[in-house]
Amino acid sequence: MKIAFASKDNIHVNQHFGWCETFFIYEITPTESYFIHEVDASLKQESEVDKLNYKISCLNDSDIVYVLQLGPKASSMVKSAGVYPMQSSGETQKIEEVITALQKMMQEATPLWLKRIMMKAQV
């Protein structure tokens, strides 16, 4: 499954969804993870809705977007686009830690929301 991380440095999940200028896209399985590429999401938009739609289009068919913060309107729009939004525990949370935690969930007691994403992504 693909995960888009909102990050300034490709180390920490440290960007708010609406203000994120770069998404780092990873492919993960229960046992492996691969950095795929980074997506420039810095194009400025006039309206809030246009900005959010643009950010969503930058997710490149990701199954999950992991961000520092996400407003209620953005969260609703992201979910409507078929992407599961998740928030980090803080600016110091590392992408590597998130991947490891997700892989552990994939291997052990997989929550229903993650099972659905895995089925959709055919993991």
Its pTM stands at 0.94
pLDDT computed for residue 123 by the predictor:
76
H/E segment holding residue 105: helix 95-107
**Residue 12's beta-bridge partner residues?**
94
Residue 41's nearest CA partner among 25, 28, 64 is: 25
Whole-Å CA distances, 8 to 24, 75, 91? 9, 20, 10
pLDDT computed for residue 118 by the predictor:
92
CATH 3.30.420.130, domain 2-121, yes or no: yes
- Spell out the long-range contacts of 70-74 with Cβ–Cβ below 8 A and sequence spacing 24 or more: 70/16, 70/17, 70/18, 71/17, 71/18, 73/48, 74/17, 74/18
pLDDT tens string, the chain, 123 residues long: the values are 999 999 999 999 999 999 999 999 999 999 999 999 999 999 999 899 999 999 999 998 999 999 999 999 999 999 999 999 999 998 999 999 999 999 999 999 899 999 999 998 887
Are 98 and 66 in contact, with CB atoms under 8 Å apart? yes
Q: What is the dihedral of CA 80, 68, 59, 110, to 10 degrees?
A: -70
